[in-house]
Structure 1
């Protein structure tokens, strides 16, 4: 007798959990990204590197085909899971526990700006004390903790990566917030939550990993209560993007390679996906096009003109050509002597490629990481 869907899902979760244990061991409770990074299982790390980079090695924008993109899209779940198996510790070490971009104001430090970006989304959605809220693609829980503190709501974080769930749960308990937070394993294309489960839903730079935006937005619509509001900061190519332009394709592919994205689409596609899902659009805007004097991509640009205080020195220096060279050679040296697992430098190189592509996409107005869409589920 063939196994049921539930039995297959349980087998998948058990297999993922076993791989997570082999790769990450007990590093989910390591204090900091670097300490976690050097404690990986070498065989499992190699398997994750091979599984992720098989989608990208020996492929460039000039030779990319529709079939290449379709193959990546078909394997979006494993592609995304392995990407975050490889990149999570590097993100925490180099960026923090909120894996997203934001807008900046003069005199505002990095972490203050990150928190303000999260607060702004919560404000746009209307999250209030006591609400039951879903965070779709919650990472290690940085935004969930901040929004729960800011509003007094309860946040359930959904994630398909066991390691990130463990990290998020650990950080929530460490901050005494376990009663306000829950982190759940699941695929956002087929959530296990009943219909009409949440008062509000948000996603911060996460649903870009979906094979089809209309699919994930429709699932969000299903689990949202009638009258509830969904808000998203979406990664999208702007409508100035031309797929027949090789330079544009190189920028798009560079972002996808370094950020675990199978198939990024344009703003017009994102708006259409919200409509297909059934949302009544309350507001939509490309926040990257606000007339800010400091661009969203400044931490990646490695340019001293963006320095506001001495505290920005490290942020800028690490993204200069010599700062990257030092970091990548250091990662290579750690690999060579067996402290860092094999594949650490290759992963760091792909993140660097993405950084260059993100900056180019921002400067040329071809890409935005913060297209804000706020939609309401009709009362009836």
Structure 2
């Protein structure tokens, strides 16, 4: 995405918003979520997740690409090539066939969706509560001449009541249900909408077995990740599996896909160093991110970016630092991938 295009898209996405104030409001969501003395808070995490993507999608796409997810990396691939390889693994695991209807739970702007449609020839229904992302997904799908193969539902995956039971042949959720305030409830809705025998692939952000709740540094990293990514909590591998099984899924496999045989690059490396990933963009790196903050401030003065844009970049920069800290400490992975089945 070129800077001119980014400027136009930010202006469109931020129209009518006090961006700086909204970014500061988002930054305080953990404090607002803390219950009062009487045990109540009136807090709605769905709104926090919506704020996160309203504010951050444009810059995330500019920095990371249309597929807003992590992937197992290797030294001989670019980030984009690694994401494509990972998406193809998902397509293979789901055993997609032409004529199937597949649900993309939390579809973002549709990066994986477009690959699924192109390569598997299936019909996809994208679920997303964020209207800004859905608008961009529709535009990109039309541009790719794939819009005739895609439908959309503007709703939360916590409540897909507009969709009938047993609608979908397959389903996938890539780094979306990690935002759920109640993971079991989210999985229950997905389970309900799948046909008996359907396969479901998921990619979750998780704490690893190395996380020590008694370690203050570990707790601080976890809190920074939760704050920056709008995660109500961060589950362990076992907690994800338990939530799946509790609603009726059979877990076929589950593993941290960052653990690979042969030469590999840590999943967080593109945010830390140019080494280990072909053609890594400077804007993803610490110095590059600081330069983008400075450039965004200048762009605000020149009225190229809406006021408050630099505040959003600052949030993303801090979150990138948290990702790297979690990855380097070995306590966090965004690559816990599972394959589950709804029994016949």
Using the size of structure 1 for normalisation, the TM-score is: 0.82
Deviation at 1:335, TM superposition (A): 2.5
Structure having greater relative contact order (Cα 8 Å, sep ≥ 6): 2
Q: In the TM superposition, what is the alpha-carbon distance from 1:133 to its structure 2 partner?
A: 0.1
Deviation at 1:341, TM superposition (A): 2.1
Please list, as runs of the form range in 1=range in 2, the aligned pairs for 1:110-129 lying within 5 A after superposition. 110-129=79-98
Question: What is the CA-CA distance between 1:320 and the residue it aligns to?
Answer: 4.0
**Aligned-pair CA distance for 1:366:** 0.6
- Structure-1 separation of matches of 2:4 and 2:341: 39
Cα offset for 1:36?
A: 0.7
Are the counterparts in 2 of residues 255 and 358 from structure 1 also a CA contact under 8 Å? yes
* Equivalent position SS for 1:89: helix
User: Structure 1 runs of 4+ off > 4 angstroms?
Assistant: 70-74
Structure 2 match to 1:55:
29
Q: Which runs of 5+ in 2 are unaligned?
A: none
1:84-163 equivalence runs, <5 A:
84-163=53-132
Aligned mates of 2:184, 2:214 — CA distance in 1: 24
Please name the residue that 1:170 is paired with: 139
Equivalent position to 1:328, from 286, 290, 293? 293
| Per-residue deviation, 1:322 | 2.9
Find the residue that maps to 2:275 and give its secondary structure. helix
Residue 358 of structure 1: aligned partner: 323
Give the superposed CA RMSD. Answer: 2.4
Superimposed CA distance per residue, residues 17-43 of structure 1 (whole angstroms, 9 cap, x where no aligned partner): xxxxxxxxxxxxx98434312443254
Distance 2:334 2:41 in 1: 21
Residue number in structure 2 paired with 1:237: 207
The Cα of 1:163 is off from its aligned counterpart by 0.7
CA distance in 2, matches of 1:71, 1:359: 34
Name 1:250's counterpart in structure 2.
220
Task: Mark the runs of 5 or more structure 1 residues left unpaired by the alignment.
Answer: 1-29
- Partners of 1:237 and 1:283 lie apart in 2 by 18
1:223 is matched with 193
SS in structure 2 of the partner of residue 208 of structure 1: helix
Structure 1 SS opposite 2:29: coil
Superposed displacement of residue 358, structure 1: 1.1
Structure 2 CA distance, aligned partners of 1:49 and 1:351? Answer: 11
What is the CA deviation profile of residues 258-300 of structure 1, one whole-angstrom value per residue up to 9, with x for unaligned ones? 2222222222211110111110111111112224421211211
Mapping for residues 223-372 of structure 1, pairs under 5 Å: 223-291=193-261, 292-301=263-272, 303-306=273-276, 308=278, 311-312=279-280, 315=281, 317-372=282-337
Greater Cα shift, 233-242 or 221-230: 233-242
Q: Deviations over 1:213-239 (max 9, x none)?
A: 111111110000000011101111113
The TM-score normalised by the length of structure 2 is 0.91
Tell me how far apart the structure 1 counterparts of residues 275 and 77 of structure 2 sit (CA, whole Å).
15
The superposition leaves residues 339-363 of structure 1 with CA deviations (integer Å, 9 ceiling, x where unpaired) of: 3223322221111111111112122
Preserved contact between residue 77 and residue 277 of structure 2 (Cα < 8 Å): no
Bigger Cα displacement from structure 2, 157-166 vs 239-248: 239-248
* Contact 1:148 1:154 (C-alpha < 8 Å) held by counterparts: yes
| Distance of 1:43 and 1:102 partners within structure 2 | 33
Inter-CA distance 164–116: structure 2 relative to 1 (3 Å threshold)? same
1:159/1:321 Cα in 2 relative to 1: closer, same or farther (>3 Å)?
Answer: closer
**Structure 1 range deviating more: 335-344 or 349-358:** 335-344
CA contact (8 A) 1:158 1:188 kept: yes
8 Å CA contact 1:169–1:182 kept in 2: the answer is no
Contact 1:32 1:92 (8 Å CA) reproduced: no
Q: Distance in 1 between matches of 2:239 and 2:7?
A: 38
Cα distance in 2 between the residues matched to 1:157 and 1:145: 11
